[in-house]
């Protein structure tokens, strides 16, 4: 049965409004980021205009941005990955350990090995969530402690130092491309690929359908298990990438690497407009949220704000983002109900419109 023009118009209006809401929220987060930078720079111009200040503004949020992109993809499917911090720590230590024990391996191979290792850890999470059908909050909370315990047991009191890693690898953390840190360039490339996939590819769009209503997506024939599994694998791979880049950036790896990063990544995604209940948001918003979150952490001490209030401001941002998300969701529901009621008004059905239009036979008789 063909959809009526009213239904098509109503659907197009809904999607246009949903898209405009998403863009407005991302624009609001970007505006807040610019405002924080402007106010802090007014207080201390070195925050932006010094060489170190500009570099720190770009490179400090880059690792969180990579992890937040993977976290956003998982949250869009109505799940959450609380193990990303532990995956970052394990991948970082694995990278340094391989450099120490297998000095004959070229650094690009070790780089790739760290990413694949993170993907395997993500595969464990995804398999348990998708096939065992255990809530992701429970599974990833368990693997958070399990992976962290393995990391502590493996690392012990040992530490990887810069002298244990090759200079070409460490150059990734210090070199720049046209004054833009290489780590930031890598983070932007990851964001571009993730945005392209979620916005233009069928698999990416199915992530949103699954997050909106998993049961309906399953009934429609979508490969829900495969998509959820792939989301966790992507999250693990990006956490592994962040772990490798952490080793290159700081040159020192111990058992505490990545501690607390899981909550920061969730906070960045939520602040960036990714709905904690799934089905809406974007990786671009999560990336902006990561920049806003860590820039605020750097800006508040410059503005003379105590450490307690720094944490309170971040908490207020997360709560505010969740409240705004629920308000936006309620507005969407009211608009959808209004459009449905408009479609169901008497005299607007397809059969009524068909009776109003003369058939081809009637036109032919009238012409004769």
List, in order of start, the domains of the chain with CATH numbers: 5-342 (1.10.3470)
Consecutive 10-residue averages of pLDDT for the chain (368 residues):
42 44 70 90 89 90 96 96 96 94 93 97 95 92 95 88 92 90 96 95 93 88 92 97 96 91 92 87 93 90 80 79 73 75 62 47 42
Quote the pLDDT of residue 7: 44
Q: How far apart are CA 288 and CA 346, in angstroms?
A: 47
Q: How far apart are CA 233 and CA 225, in angstroms?
A: 12
Q: What is the pTM of this model?
A: 0.84
């Amino acid at each position: 049965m063909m959809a009526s023009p009213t239904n098509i118009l109503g659907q197009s209006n809904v999607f246009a409004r949903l898209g405009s809401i998403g863009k407005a929220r991302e624009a609001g987060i970007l505006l807040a980021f610019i405002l924080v930078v402007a106010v802090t720079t007014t207080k201390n111009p070195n925050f932006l205009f010094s060489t170190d200040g500009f570099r720190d503004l770009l490179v400090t949020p880059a690792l969180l941005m990579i992890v937040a992109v993977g976290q956003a993809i998982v949250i869009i499917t109505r799940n959450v990955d609380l193990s990303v911090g532990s995956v970052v720590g394990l991948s970082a230590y694995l990278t340094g350990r391989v450099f120490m024990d297998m000095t004959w391996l070229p650094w690009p191979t070790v780089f790739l090995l760290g990413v694949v290792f993170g993907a395997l850890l993500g595969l464990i999470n995804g398999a348990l969530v998708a096939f065992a059908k255990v809530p992701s909050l429970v599974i990833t909370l368990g693997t958070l402690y399990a992976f962290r315990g393995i990391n502590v047991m493996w690392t012990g009191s040992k530490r990887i130092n810069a002298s244990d890693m090759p200079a070409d690898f460490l150059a990734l953390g210090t070199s720049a491309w046209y004054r833009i840190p290489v780590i930031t360039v890598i983070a932007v490339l990851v964001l571009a690929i993730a945005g392209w996939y979620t916005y233009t590819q069928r698999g990416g769009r199915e992530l949103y359908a699954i997050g909106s209503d998993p049961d309906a997506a399953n009934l429609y024939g979508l490969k829900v298990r495969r998509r959820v599994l792939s989301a966790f694998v992507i999250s693990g791979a990006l956490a592994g990438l962040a772990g490798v880049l952490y080793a290159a950036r700081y040159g020192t790896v111990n058992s505490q690497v990545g501690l607390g990063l899981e909550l920061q990544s969730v906070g960045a995604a939520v602040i960036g407009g990714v709905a904690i209940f799934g089905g809406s948001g974007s990786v671009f918003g999560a990336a902006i949220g990561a920049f806003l979150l860590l820039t605020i952490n750097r800006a508040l001490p410059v503005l003379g704000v105590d450490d307690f209030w720094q944490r309170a401001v971040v908490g207020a941002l997360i709560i505010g983002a969740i409240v705004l998300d629920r308000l936006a969701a309620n507005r969407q529901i009211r608009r959808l109900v209004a459009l449905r009621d408009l479609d169901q008004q008497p005299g607007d059905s397809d059969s009524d419109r068909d009776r109003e239009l003369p058939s081809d036979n009637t036109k032919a008789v009238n012409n004769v």
